[in-house]
Amino acid sequence: MIIQGKTHTFGNDIDTDVIIPARYLNTFDPKELALHCMEDADPNFAKQVKPGDIIVAGKNFGCGSSREHAPIAIKAAGVSAVIAGSFARIFYRNAINIGLPILESPEAAKSIEAGDEIKIDVDKGEIVNLTKGETYRAASFPPFMQEIIAAGGLMPYVARRVRQSV
């Protein structure tokens, strides 16, 4: 999978409360959640983000609550991928489960600046910064997770296994 887009940058320890504040969790409609994506980190984000844009953040992205509404809001806002120095564990699982591409690359997180145009080869784990002419490596997924990603998320993967066992 190849993803290309313009970046929006955030700092370290971006928690799921700022990704999607709990005051909006009385629904799980992706369209409604998208309107408030990243609201408490950057109130203008939802208005400015364009389909295909990429979020780049520092360490421990998605820490805090287990709310899957966080990666859902990001995906529904049109964001094509999230690159971070590191991801909090539950967010990482949730993102893979719902089919939001995420890449762990401390090097990319440090070097990419807001507005840089980048191109990601998800399968190879390669991130090219077209603006700066730099290339960064991202951690690759274990084969088991690649299967979930290839299936389009956990539920299609489980559905296939359920069908096989019947």
Partner 1 sequence: MGMTITEKILAAHAGLERVEPGQLINARIDLALGNDITAPPAIKEFKALGVKKVFDSERIALVPDHFTPAKDIKSAEQAKVLREFASEQGITNYFEIGRMGIEHCLLPEQGLVGPGDLVIGADSHTCTYGALGAFATGIGSTDLAAAIATGECWFKVPETIHFRYHGNLKPWVRGKDLILYTIGQIGVDGARYMSMEFSGEAIEALSMDSRFAMANMAIEAGGKNGIFHVDEKTLDYIKGRLKRDYKIFQSDPDANYAKVYDIDVNNIGPQVALPHLPENTKSVYELGDIKIDQVVIGSCTNGRMEDLRVAAEILKGQKIHPEVRVIIIPGTQQIYAEAMAEGLINIFIEAGAVVSTPTCGPCLGGHMGILAKGERALATTNRNFVGRMGHPESEVYLAGPAVAAASSVKGRIAAPEEVVK
Interface residues with partner 1 (CB under 8 A) are: 13, 15, 17-18, 21-23, 25-28, 39-41, 43, 59-60, 63-69, 86, 88-90, 93-94, 97-98, 142, 144, 153-155, 158-159, 161-162
Smaller CB distance to partner 1: residue 39 or 116?
Answer: 39
Residue that has been written with the tokens 């299967």 in this structure: 147
Minimum distance from residue 128 beta carbon to partner 1 (Å):
27
Minimum distance from residue 160 beta carbon to partner 1 (Å):
11
Distance CA 166, CA 161 (A): 9
Distance CA 111, CA 7 (A): 12
The residues with which 126 forms a beta bridge, in sequence order, are: 121, 137
Distance CA 24, CA 12 (A): 23
Minimum distance from residue 148 beta carbon to partner 1 (Å):
9
Minimum distance from residue 61 beta carbon to partner 1 (Å):
10
**Is residue 50 a contact partner of residue 4, using CB atoms and an 8 Å limit?**
no
